[in-house]
C-alpha cells in the first residue's frame, strides 16, 4: 500500500478550531474512567466535514479519510509499513505459504474469530473477499491477476496468472469482509456502507460530519485494547488541527505544521512527540499526459528543470515534512541509493532555466516575451490543483507556478474541494497537481504506481490506484512485468535501470519530495506509541498499522 495521504492542510480556520475542539473532548471531562485512567483516545485529521460512508474500499470515504476503517476491518497478515521486508505478523491468517514462483498463495484462517454482529468469521468469508476483488475491477485497484480462488475447511488457496513477487504484501494485507453483508450490496465498489460489520475490536457508535465515534466491542479474538472509545474528529484545516493538538483536544494526527517546534512541541515538551519514519515513496507534480501539449516529454522535462525542489522543501514542507528528492531518477536517498542505475548515480537535480529554454526551442516551442507558445502557436497554460486545505501542497503549487513562469508557462493554482479533487484524479479530468506514489521495499512500487499500463484507464473511468496521469508506455509496462516476473536479481536490476531511464527521459511525474508515514501524538494520557527506538509501526493514524498501535496503548501511569 502506498502511504496514503488522507490529510487536509490549510492556513485558515482558527475559529473553526475552537468550535471543533469542543466537539472532540477538549475539556478532558469524559476522557477518564472511575479509577482516573484514560479511556478515550482523540484522533484528528484536518479533512473538513465528512459525508458518512464506512465502505473500506473507497479511498474517499470517511473511514479512509480519518483512518478508522482499520479499527473495524482487519488484514490477514499485519505488515510493518516502514519495514516491509520483515516477516509479517499472523492476524486473521495464522499461516501462509507462497509456491511456484509466487503464482500460488495458501492461507490457513484463524478459528474463533467473530464478526461484530456475533456471527463467526470463516474461510468462506476470506474466499469471498478475494472473489469480490476478482469480479469487480473497481475493487481490484492493484490489478491483481487472480486465476483461481478455492476454499476447503479453514484453508484458502489463490493462484495467479503470473508471479506476484512484487505484490506479496498487498495480498497478505488484504482486509476481510463478511459475505453475509456484502453479498447483499448492489455495487460494492460504490455503495455507501452505513452499518459496517468487521472483525476488529471496535464498532461504530455514532457519526456526525465532524466526529465519528467508535466503541469497544464486548469481545475480540485478541486481548481487548485499553482504549475504550475512539473519537475521530475531522477539523476544517491544518490550523484547526494544530490548535487542537497543541491544547490537547486532539492526541494523534498526521498533519503538516509549518513551525512545529514552537507551535506544537514547545507547548508540552514532555508529551508532545513527532514520529516521521520514511518509506520508499515520493511526492511530485503529476501531469495529465493526455492533454496537449503536456503529452510531449520535452515540455515535461523542461518543466522539471525549472521547478525548485529546495524551495518546495524549505517553504512548502517547512524543512522537515517531506524531504527533498535529489536524484533525477526520482528515487529517494539514502533509502534508495543502492537501486540507482550507474549512469544516474551522481546526477542530482538542479534548477537550469537557460537549459530549459534551450531545450524547448530545440523541440519547436517559442518564447515570445514572457509567453511560451507551443508548436501550434498557442500559449502554454496549465491549471495546478489540490484541495484547498492542504497547505503544504498549495504552497508547493504556488512555488511551481512561479517557477514555470520563468519559461513562459502560465500556471493557475486551483484550490479545490477535496472530494472533487479525488474524483478528478481518479477519473483523469485534472491538468496537474501534487500527489503521492505507493511506497514499498524497492523503487518498483514508485514506478509501477506512475507508469504501469495494466492500471491505465481511459479518461472518465475511475477506480484506479495509480497512473493518475494516464501515462502510456508499452516499454515501461514490459519492464515492470519483467521485474515482477524475474527469477533472479540480475534480471530485476536490468529492468529497474530501464525504468529509471524512462523516468528521466519522459518525466511522467516531476518528483519533488520523499514520503513519510509519520504522526504527531501525545503521551500525556496514553503510552506505548512507536518511536525511533521502537519502530514497530508507522506513526500515521490512517495506515493499517494504526490498529496495532491502538492495541499496544496503555493509560499513562498504568503498569
Query: HEC string of 421-450?
Result: HHHHHHHCCCCEEEEECECECCCHHHHHHH
pLDDT digits (tens, 9 = 90+) for 56-93: 998 889 999 999 999 999 999 999 988 887 899 999 99
Residues 431 and 297 in one domain: yes
Residues 407 and 447 in one domain: yes
Residues 326 and 252 in one domain: no
Residues 456 and 365 in one domain: yes
Looking at residue 334, what is its pLDDT?
Answer: 85
Q: Among 183, 213, 237, identify where a domain stops.
A: 183
Note down the domain range covering 452: 278-516
Q: What angle do CA 423, 57, 471 make, to 5 degrees?
A: 45
pLDDT digits (tens, 9 = 90+) for 273-320: 999 887 899 999 999 999 999 999 999 999 999 999 999 999 999 888
List, in order, residues 6 or more apart from 395 with CB less than 8 Å away: 315, 316
Of 339, 363, 376, 373, the closest CA to residue 498 belongs to: 339
Looking at residue 533, what is its pLDDT?
Answer: 94
Q: For 440, what's the count of Cα atoms within 13 Å in the CB-facing half-sphere? A: 18
Residue 542 belongs to a domain: yes
- Separation in Å, CA 61 to CA 23, 48, 440, 520, 527: 21, 12, 24, 23, 29
Residues 496 and 374 in one domain: yes
The position carrying cell 479533512 is 47
Burial group, residue 534, by CB count within 10 angstroms (0-12, 13-18, 19+): exposed
End-to-end CA distance of the chain: 35
Number of domains observed in the structure of the chain:
3
pTM of the model: 0.77
Residues 413 and 382 in one domain: yes
- Do residues 228 and 555 make contact, with C-beta atoms less than 8 angstroms apart? no
Task: Give the mean pLDDT of 186-199.
Answer: 92
Give the β-pairing of 229-234 and 40-45.
parallel
Return the higher-pLDDT residue of 8 and 555: 555
- Do residues 43 and 526 make contact, with C-beta atoms less than 8 angstroms apart? no
Residue 13 belongs to a domain: no
- Separation in Å, CA 96 to CA 76, 132, 146, 173, 551: 9, 20, 17, 12, 23
pLDDT digits (tens, 9 = 90+) for 469-491: 999 999 999 999 999 999 888 99
For 84, the grid coordinates are 516491509
* Distance from C-alpha of 78 to C-alpha of 547, rounded to nearest angstrom: 10
Looking at residue 318, what is its pLDDT?
Answer: 87
Residues 172 and 296 in one domain: no
pLDDT digits (tens, 9 = 90+) for 420-439: 999 999 999 999 999 999 98
Return the higher-pLDDT residue of 25 and 541: 541
Looking at residue 558, what is its pLDDT?
Answer: 77
List, in order, residues 6 or more apart from 245 with CB less than 8 Å away: 44, 251, 253, 255, 257, 264, 272, 520, 522
Return the higher-pLDDT residue of 301 and 3: 301
Residues 337 and 479 in one domain: yes
For 536, the grid coordinates are 514497530
- Do residues 115 and 175 make contact, with C-beta atoms less than 8 angstroms apart? no
Q: Among 183, 213, 241, identify where a domain stops.
A: 183
List, in order, residues 6 or more apart from 546 with CB less than 8 Å away: 67, 70, 71, 537, 540
Q: Among 158, 183, 208, identify where a domain stops.
A: 183
* Distance from C-alpha of 399 to C-alpha of 245, rounded to nearest angstrom: 28
Looking at residue 20, what is its pLDDT?
Answer: 32
DSSP 312: I
The CATH number of residue 153's host domain is 3.90.76.10
Residue 273 belongs to a domain: yes
The average confidence (pLDDT) of the chain is 91
Residues 263 and 366 in one domain: no
Residues 219 and 242 in one domain: yes
Looking at residue 161, what is its pLDDT?
Answer: 94
Residues 386 and 472 in one domain: yes
List, in order, residues 6 or more apart from 135 with CB less than 8 Å away: none
Task: Give the mean pLDDT of 17-22.
Answer: 31
Of 483, 475, 481, 469, the closest CA to residue 501 belongs to: 475
Residues 328 and 361 in one domain: yes
Residue 15 belongs to a domain: no
> At residue 3, does pLDDT exceed 60?
no
- Do residues 74 and 176 make contact, with C-beta atoms less than 8 angstroms apart? yes
SS3 (DSSP) at 470: coil
Q: How much of the chain exceeds pLDDT 70, in percent?
A: 93
Residue 493 belongs to a domain: yes
Looking at residue 32, what is its pLDDT?
Answer: 59
pLDDT digits (tens, 9 = 90+) for 341-400: 999 999 999 999 999 999 999 999 999 999 999 999 999 999 999 999 888 999 999 999
Count CB-CB contacts under 10 A for residue 314. 14
Looking at residue 6, what is its pLDDT?
Answer: 36
The CATH number of residue 451's host domain is 3.10.105.10
The CATH number of residue 229's host domain is 3.40.190.10
Looking at residue 31, what is its pLDDT?
Answer: 62
Looking at residue 15, what is its pLDDT?
Answer: 28
> At residue 252, does pLDDT exceed 90?
yes
Of 428, 111, 86, the closest CA to residue 287 belongs to: 428
DSSP 350: -
Amino acid at each position: 500500500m502506498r502511504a496514503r495521504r488522507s490529510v487536509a492542510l490549510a492556513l485558515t480556520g482558527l475559529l473553526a478550531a475552537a468550535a471543533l475542539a469542543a466537539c472532540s473532548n477538549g475539556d478532558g471531562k469524559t476522557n477518564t474512567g472511575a479509577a482516573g485512567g484514560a479511556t478515550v483516545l482523540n484522533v484528528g485529521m484536518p479533512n473538513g466535514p465528512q459525508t458518512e460512508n464506512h465502505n473500506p474500499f473507497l479511498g474517499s470515504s470517511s473511514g479512509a479519510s480519518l483512518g478508522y476503517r482499520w479499527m473495524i476491518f482487519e488484514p490477514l497478515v499485519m505488515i510493518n509499513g516502514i519495514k516491509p521486508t520483515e516477516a509479517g505478523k499472523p492476524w486473521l491468517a495464522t499461516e501462509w505459504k507462497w509456491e511456484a514462483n509466487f503464482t500460488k498463495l495458501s492461507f490457513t484462517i484463524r478459528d474463533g474469530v467473530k464478526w461484530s454482529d456475533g456471527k463467526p468469521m470463516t474461510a468462506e468469508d476470506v474466499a469471498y473477499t478475494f472473489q469480490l476483488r476478482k469480479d469487480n475491477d473497481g475493487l481490484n485497484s492493484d490489478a491483481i491477476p487472480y486465476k483461481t480462488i478455492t476454499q476447503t475447511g479453514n484453508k484458502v488457496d489463490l493462484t495467479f496468472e503470473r508471479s506476484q513477487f512484487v505484490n506479496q504484501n498487498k495480498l497478505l494485507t488484504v482486509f476481510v469482509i463478511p459475505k453475509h453483508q456484502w453479498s447483499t450490496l448492489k455495487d460494492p465498489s460504490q455503495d455507501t456502507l452505513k452499518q459496517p460489520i468487521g472483525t476488529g475490536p471496535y464498532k461504530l457508535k455514532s457519526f456526525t460530519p465532524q466526529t465519528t465515534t467508535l466503541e469497544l466491542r464486548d469481545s475480540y479474538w485478541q486481548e481487548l485494547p485499553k482504549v475504550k472509545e475512539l473519537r475521530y474528529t475531522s477539523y476544517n484545516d491544518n490550523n484547526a488541527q494544530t490548535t487542537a493538538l497543541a491544547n490537547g483536544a486532539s492526541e494523534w494526527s498526521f498533519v503538516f505544521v509549518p513551525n512545529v517546534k514552537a507551535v506544537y512541541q514547545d507547548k508540552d515538551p514532555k508529551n508532545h512527540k513527532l514520529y516521521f519514519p520514511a518509506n520508499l515513496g515520493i511526492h511530485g507534480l503529476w501531469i495529465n499526459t493526455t492533454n496537449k501539449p503536456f503529452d510531449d516529454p520535452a515540455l515535461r522535462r523542461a518543466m522539471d528543470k525549472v521547478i525548485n525542489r529546495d524551495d518546495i522543501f524549505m517553504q512548502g514542507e517547512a524543512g522537515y515534512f517531506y524531504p527533498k528528492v535529489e536524484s533525477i531518477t526520482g528515487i529517494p536517498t539514502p533509502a534508495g541509493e543502492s537501486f540507482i542505475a550507474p549512469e544516474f548515480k551522481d546526477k542530482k537535480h538542479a534548477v537550469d532555466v537557460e537549459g530549459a529554454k534551450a531545450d524547448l526551442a530545440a523541440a519547436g516551442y517559442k518564447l515570445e516575451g514572457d509567453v511560451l507558445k507551443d508548436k501550434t502557436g498557442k500559449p502554454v497554460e496549465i491549471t495546478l490543483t489540490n484541495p484547498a486545505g492542504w497547505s503544504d501542497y498549495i504552497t508547493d503549487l504556488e512555488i511551481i507556478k512561479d517557477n514555470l513562469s520563468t519559461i513562459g508557462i502560465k500556471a493557475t493554482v486551483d484550490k479545490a474541494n477535496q472530494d472533487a479533487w479525488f474524483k478528478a484524479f481518479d477519473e483523469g479530468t485534472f491538468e496537474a497537481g501534487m500527489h503521492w506514489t505507493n511506497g514499498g521495499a524497492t523503487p518498483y512500487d514508485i514506478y509501477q504506481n506512475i507508469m504501469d499500463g495494466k492500471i491505465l484507464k481511459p479518461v472518465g473511468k475511475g477506480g484506479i490506484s495509480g497512473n493518475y496521469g494516464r501515462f502510456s508506455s508499452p516499454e515501461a509496462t514490459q519492464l515492470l512485468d519483467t521485474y515482477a516476473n524475474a527469477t533472479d536479481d540480475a534480471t530485476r536490476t536490468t529492468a529497474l535501470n530501464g525504468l529509471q531511464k524512462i523516468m528521466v527521459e519522459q518525466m511522467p511525474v516531476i518528483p519533488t519530495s520523499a514520503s513519510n508515514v509519520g504522526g504527531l501524538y501525545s503521551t500525556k494520557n496514553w503510552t506505548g506509541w512507536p518511536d525511533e527506538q521502537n519502530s514497530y509501526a508507522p506513526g500515521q493514524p490512517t495506515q493499517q498499522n494504526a490498529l496495532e498501535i491502538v492495541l499496544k496503548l496503555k493509560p499513562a501511569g498504568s503498569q
